[in-house]
């Protein structure tokens, strides 16, 4: 379990980041985590039926506004990440230091684009 930065310090909540690479059956301790993980997994899977099911399951749990928020976060992250990768923006020293534990927990440094 990992205590997230400022939000975790404020709420005292911890999250299991391994749910991202695991089976996600407990949602990592995040409200609607199971449904959010399923939604995220289907976004790039090229399976319209699975995406429709995941989207509807998430909507049932978080409502219409929550679904729109989740889709917006996913779209924004995808765009920002692609821009950073395409332009070769390096991770600055400060952010490399404060994100080292997250990158290690998620295995990001093993990805070619994730190497600092």
Domains identified in the chain, total number: 1
When pLDDT is cut at 50, 70 and 90, the band that residue 116 belongs to is low
Predicted confidence (pLDDT) at residue 44 exceeds the cutoff of 60: yes
What is the arithmetic mean of pLDDT over 68-81?
Answer: 89
Give pTM, 2 decimals.
Answer: 0.70
Name the residue range of residue 10's domain.
Answer: 2-114
Percent of the chain at pLDDT exceeding 90: 30
What pLDDT does residue 70 have?
A: 95
DSSP 3-state percent helix, strand, coil across the chain (nearest 5): 70, 5, 25
State whether residue 15 is helix, strand or coil: strand
What is the arithmetic mean of pLDDT over 44-59?
Answer: 95
Torsion of CA 78, 81, 87, 90, to 10 degrees: 180
State whether residue 79 is helix, strand or coil: helix
More confident residue, 112 or 85: 85
Please tell me the distance from the alpha carbon of residue 103 to that of residue 107, in angstroms, as a whole number: 6
What is the arithmetic mean of pLDDT over 79-108?
Answer: 83
State whether residue 3 is helix, strand or coil: strand
Contact at 8 Å (CB) between 57 and 35?
yes
What pLDDT does residue 95 have?
A: 83
Query: 42 Cβ partners below 8 Å, 6+ apart?
Result: 50, 51, 53, 54, 55
More confident residue, 51 or 21: 51
């Amino acid at each position: 379990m990992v205590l997230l930065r400022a939000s975790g310090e404020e709420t005292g909540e911890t999250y299991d980041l391994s749910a991202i690479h695991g089976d996600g059956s407990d949602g990592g301790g995040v409200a609607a985590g199971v449904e959010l993980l399923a939604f995220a997994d289907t976004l790039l899977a090229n399976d319209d039926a699975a995406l429709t099911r995941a989207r509807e399951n998430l909507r049932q749990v978080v409502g219409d506004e929550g679904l729109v928020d989740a889709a917006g976060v996913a779209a924004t992250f995808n765009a920002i990440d692609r821009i950073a990768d395409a332009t070769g923006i390096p991770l600055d020293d400060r952010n490399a230091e404060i994100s080292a534990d997250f990158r290690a927990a998620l295995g990001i440094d093993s990805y070619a684009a994730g190497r600092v």
